[in-house]
Amino acid sequence: MKEQSPVRRATRQPTGALTVLAESKEPAIRTEALHFTSTEPMEFWDVTDLTREVVGRSGVRHGQVTVYSPHTTTTVVVNESETGFLNDFRRLMGNLVPEDAYYEHDDHSVRTENLQEDEFINGHAHCRQMMVGQPSVTVPVVDGEVLLGQWQRILFGELDQARDRRVFFHAQGI
């Protein structure tokens, strides 16, 4: 019998206020930031609706929207928000890049760069990000609509551990 994953929601909806960082009317540009706290490793946050809201407030009719994460152990992707797929992805990452393997990044007896006092042990999360993701996605906006396929969603992925995170939404166009 195949091992089955526990039932869980495919994604979470982030909560928190969006903060306007910049805006202009001509050309239409709006940048907003969302601050939130992730709750566990390998979770996905569906930011599609927030992206659409930012585009609506921006006044962009024709252009693009970029969703960007300034963190090296997260990713922003366009994919399906379906529980089975995301559980498969979690298992795949656990097999390909296990948390308990040796990562030189975590070996402070040899690492000398970019160290900080409260350094996380997260070499696995950095490797996972390099394999699967990018820090941002850009999606066309036509007639004020974010052009996504029927099942496509914009997902923010936490590849590390629970902590404070930010994601930026930048809509621009005419």
Helix, strand, or coil (residue 95): helix
Separation of alpha carbons 165 and 37, rounded Å: 6
What's the pLDDT at 141?
98
Q: Is the pLDDT of residue 6 over 80?
A: no
pLDDT in tens, 11-54: 888 888 899 999 999 999 999 999 999 999 999 999 999 999 99
Residue 133's pLDDT band (boundaries 50, 70, 90)? confident
Residue 28 phi/psi, 5-degree rounding, is: -75, 115
Separation of alpha carbons 173 and 44, rounded Å: 28
pLDDT in tens, 100-125: 999 999 988 888 788 787 788 899 99
Which CATH number belongs to the domain containing residue 141 in this structure? Answer: 2.60.120.460
- Indicate whether 20 belongs to any domain: no
Q: Is the pLDDT of residue 161 over 70?
A: yes
List Cα–Cα distances, 95 to 55, 104, 122, 172, in angstroms.
Answer: 38, 19, 16, 40
Q: Look at the chain and report how many structural domains it folds into.
A: 1
Instruction: State which residues form the domain around 73.
Output: 46-102+121-173
- Indicate whether 109 belongs to any domain: no
- Indicate whether 94 belongs to any domain: yes
Q: Count of CB atoms within 10 A of residue 105's CB?
A: 19
- Indicate whether 159 belongs to any domain: yes
- Indicate whether 39 belongs to any domain: no
What's the pLDDT at 102?
96
Residue 5's pLDDT band (boundaries 50, 70, 90)? low
- Indicate whether 166 belongs to any domain: yes
